[in-house]
Structure 1
Amino acid sequence: MTDPNGLIRPGRPAPGFTLPATPDGRQVGPEQFRGHPVVLAFYPADWTPVCGDQMALYQAAMPELERYDAVVLGISVDSRWSHQAFADSRGIRFPLLADFEPKGEVARRYGAYTPQGQAARALVVVDRQGTVAWTQLSPADVNPGVDGILDALDRLAAGRQVVAG
């Protein structure tokens, strides 16, 4: 089920998936990180200024995110080759997953797919047990930053309920 903004609702089981993460086709998905909070960062496209800044911000914030034992997975409908070049150009070391074929299938399952045929700028935090704990949908031209993610991770670490952003 989705909430009024279209995203999957907190409290629901996170849909399982694996997607290509590298040009050689290595598959990655949140189930591989069970026992860790997982941040799913859906974004519209590689090579756009807002997306580049957003993913670079998450890379810069990685020491703080790792303090919560969190894993970040970026997801867009771009190809794995585009992701590799984009990651190399921006110094991004966390996995960027290619929701490429069938286009946007995972984004659709999370309620994060747009009529324009791309992923919405959406954040989903999945708790250690695989349940959606927090979501946030942002306008395509707005970098959502990292504060909401850190707040959600802080609430999870403290055992407090997390709500949609």
Structure 2
Amino acid sequence: MILQKNTPAPDFELYNSPDHKLKLSDFKGKRLILAFYPADWSPVCSDQMSLYNETLRLFHKHNAEVLGISVDSKWCHMAFEENRNLHFPLLADFEPKGAVSKKYGAYNEQEGESLRALFVIDEKGIIQWSHLSPDSVNPGADGILDALEAMDNHKK
């Protein structure tokens, strides 16, 4: 079971490049979209990450950043980011394998990879929306945008 609304998002520190790490707490004061996914290079994952790349401008209008997270290595992510021309970080939940995915309830023990799970986290680090999709289904961006808009409306 993935973490649900009103749950504090567990902090983490993961590589986003061969020599740099990012922490959840680095994004305090911003909204954050965590997109856990099974693997770089798979067709559905490639489509999903490309869609979020194209949707970045809309996410930014809601003061939100995107982080992709899978158990692939930092080197695999670097090649995938360059190949797909991605403009948001991919984080390597590589070692200990799937530790962050497990904290969020988004790890598939049988396959040894992250589940396709989405989390929208508010400026205070609280999960405001989460969604789990089958590995073979691209969840798209509509649910994320709806959650961000609901957060905007709640502030008014």
**TM-score above 0.5, yes or no:** yes
Root mean square deviation of aligned Cα: 0.8
Gapped runs of 5+ residues in structure 1?
A: 1-5, 161-165
Which whole-Å deviations, capped at 9, do the CAs of 1:69-127 have from their partners, x for residues lacking one? 10100000000000000011111110000000000000000000002110000001111
Equivalenced residue count is 154
1:7 to 2, 5, 30: 2
1:131 to 103, 126, 133: 126
2:67 to 62, 73, 82: 73
Q: Aligned partners of 2:12 and 2:116: how far apart in 1?
A: 19
Q: Which moved more, 1:26-35 or 1:130-139?
A: 26-35
Relative to its length, the structure with more helix (as a share) is 2
Gapped runs of 5+ residues in structure 2?
A: none
> Which residue identity lines up with residue 153 of structure 1 in the other structure?
L
Q: Aligned partners of 1:29 and 1:56: how far apart in 2?
A: 23
Name the TM-score, length of structure 2 as normaliser: 0.97
**Runs of 4+ residues over 2 Å off in structure 1:** none
SS at 2:108's partner residue?
coil
Relative to its length, the structure with more strand (as a share) is 2
Name the TM-score, length of structure 1 as normaliser: 0.91
Q: Aligned partners of 1:99 and 1:57: how far apart in 2?
A: 22
